[in-house]
Structure 1
């Protein structure tokens, strides 16, 4: 065999290998999931949560751009609600573009005239889908999930370079000679799962407490104040008070420069028990002075306390003595 013939056969083998590799780049469909993340119940109550993911159809847009392409979509089923562990729901919308018109059940959309770059703008040349929840108050914490059952119809070029030699089509699709398709076939059904995690949260109001002014450490009178707490629906909790910035062997101290004034905070306005941050030193929401055990996200619990300068300590030098206490809520 001449050298020229061997060269021709080698080129022919190379050409066939190239065509086979391009044919593998067709459209694929798959079940997908979009996680809208985690948000506090109060954030979900006032602010729509948004996110995006894949709508379940992925195509090689480089090959498809070389020939006439057809893509259609129908929503087969969806409640357009995310349902939580206790049956509460969050309404949401889904769209193919950010802030675009919402998808509806049963509505067929012919997307063939859409720019391929825009249509397959998602990760790995997938069609993106955008979700937006409605602000929903009074939610309990937990995972909220929903779904969209979509049906994709398509016929795009899957083989060729300058001229399209083959197409990747959904079942039953008949390519028209001219004009729009008249037979879209049965399409391919895919499910898009959607999830949002609602987290417990609290709104805490802790007014400052001042003992006023006195000439001697033993001259300060005890004071009473109230901490206001409102938490997510269904969330029992405990409240702890930290030891402040200057504790000494479990005793709180206010500070002025290098000098200290010892004081304490006690559970309720009459209790002798220290209000702390660990174990039994915490207060349970069921012991609130008002609305104990009411957890509907809108009702506030009130926790009164008594604070006192400790007797028997030497009077420190004059000055403004301050401390900061961390109020924490645990579920």
Structure 2
């Protein structure tokens, strides 16, 4: 008896569905805008401008037939940068360069702006633009301020012509046949702003002119006063270098290949040489006028005496010149 074996084959269907997973197009996070470092006198004389990320970045899809929504509310800010000694600098912030200043508690609907221009900051972020108010009498140091913001948004995260999915802030409801636009509760974020104020000084140093004389011994000493004012709260010292033609630490004026020796002393009558090292420097606390006054507005006066060494040998006729560099150290 023969056996007939039947081989049975079963087809096992295999299915795989590849679905598009929408990306979360928007992220919200704290940011810091550094407005850089500027002289205290630069900040006193003019406004400083800068820009930085506003805490909302969106990798948006520009679906042609989609409406995007973006809204902003500044919930709290003093609009002040505060630094050493509770000194402060007022600032304003706007959503566009040179635009109208934003205020606390007002809802700003930015949806009318094109997404390309709206998310024009670094890494597709929305930028904010800052402007300081000219402020005098500032101490040097780091100044800080902040903005507390709340962002509301609904932007396309998947689609080409039509949007298939959206990135929304909490509670946002898009308008439709059965729903009205609801901006929801939004997402809170803090934007920090920093600015470094640098020490600086304004120096008024008149030239020294010994006049003319037929022989070296006929030159008279000349007395002059240097006026210096520096950033608020900053004591300092003042040094004078040895000029462009020193010889073993002695200052010299030059005419062609000839030299005329001279010196500068710390007061109208002192025998102490004014130099740029150690005790040869002059302290602002011992200025001849307004010593110890550091309000950035009041100048300290430093009187000195310049003398040509009358004992040196005769020098050829000519016009002798030199340049002294004044340095201020804090």
Tell me if both proteins adopt one fold, taking TM over 0.5 as the criterion. Answer: yes
Q: Give the distance between the partners of 1:155 and 1:134, measured in 2 at CA.
A: 35
Q: Structure 1 residue 85: deviation in Å?
A: 1.9
In 1, are the aligned partners of 2:70 and 2:152 still within 8 Å (CA)? yes
In 2, are the aligned partners of 1:45 and 1:137 still within 8 Å (CA)? yes
Report how many residues are paired: 318
In 1, are the aligned partners of 2:251 and 2:262 still within 8 Å (CA)? yes
Alignment of 1:203 with 2:202, yes or no, is: yes
Secondary structure, in 3 states, of the residue corresponding to 1:61? coil
Q: Give the distance between the partners of 2:241 and 2:178, measured in 1 at CA.
A: 74
Distance change (3 Å), C-alpha of 1:279 and 1:64: farther
Residue-by-residue CA offset, 1:135-174 (whole Å, 9 max, x unaligned): 1111111111100000001111112233211111011111
Which residue of the partner structure matches residue 116 of structure 1? 115
Which residue of the partner structure matches residue 265 of structure 1? 264
Larger radius of gyration: 2
Alignment of 1:136 with 2:135, yes or no, is: yes
Instruction: Give matches, 1:237-276, under 5 Å.
Output: 237-276=236-275
In 2, are the aligned partners of 1:66 and 1:157 still within 8 Å (CA)? no
Secondary structure, in 3 states, of the residue corresponding to 1:263? strand
Residue-by-residue CA offset, 1:270-290 (whole Å, 9 max, x unaligned): 110110011110000011111
Q: Structure 1 residue 181: deviation in Å?
A: 5.4
Which residue of the partner structure matches residue 74 of structure 1? 73
Which residue of the partner structure matches residue 47 of structure 1? 46
Q: Give the distance between the partners of 2:59 and 2:65, measured in 1 at CA.
A: 11
State TM-score, norm by structure 2.
0.92
Q: Give the distance between the partners of 1:195 and 1:329, measured in 2 at CA.
A: 26
Which residue of the partner structure matches residue 307 of structure 1? 306
State TM-score, norm by structure 1.
0.92
Residue-by-residue CA offset, 1:94-126 (whole Å, 9 max, x unaligned): 000011111111100111222111211111211
Q: Structure 1 residue 64: deviation in Å?
A: 5.7
RMSD: 1.8
Which residue of the partner structure matches residue 105 of structure 1? 104
Secondary structure, in 3 states, of the residue corresponding to 1:72? strand
Which residue of the partner structure matches residue 38 of structure 1? 37
Which residue of the partner structure matches residue 280 of structure 2? 281
Residue-by-residue CA offset, 1:29-60 (whole Å, 9 max, x unaligned): 11011111111111111111110000011112
More helix by percentage: 1
* Deviates further, 170-179 or 117-126: 170-179
Residue-by-residue CA offset, 1:278-314 (whole Å, 9 max, x unaligned): 1110000011111111111111111000111113211
Q: Give the distance between the partners of 2:113 and 2:165, measured in 1 at CA.
A: 21
Please, which runs of 5 or more residues in structure 1 have no aligned partner? Answer: none
Residue-by-residue CA offset, 1:235-266 (whole Å, 9 max, x unaligned): 11100001000000000000000000000000
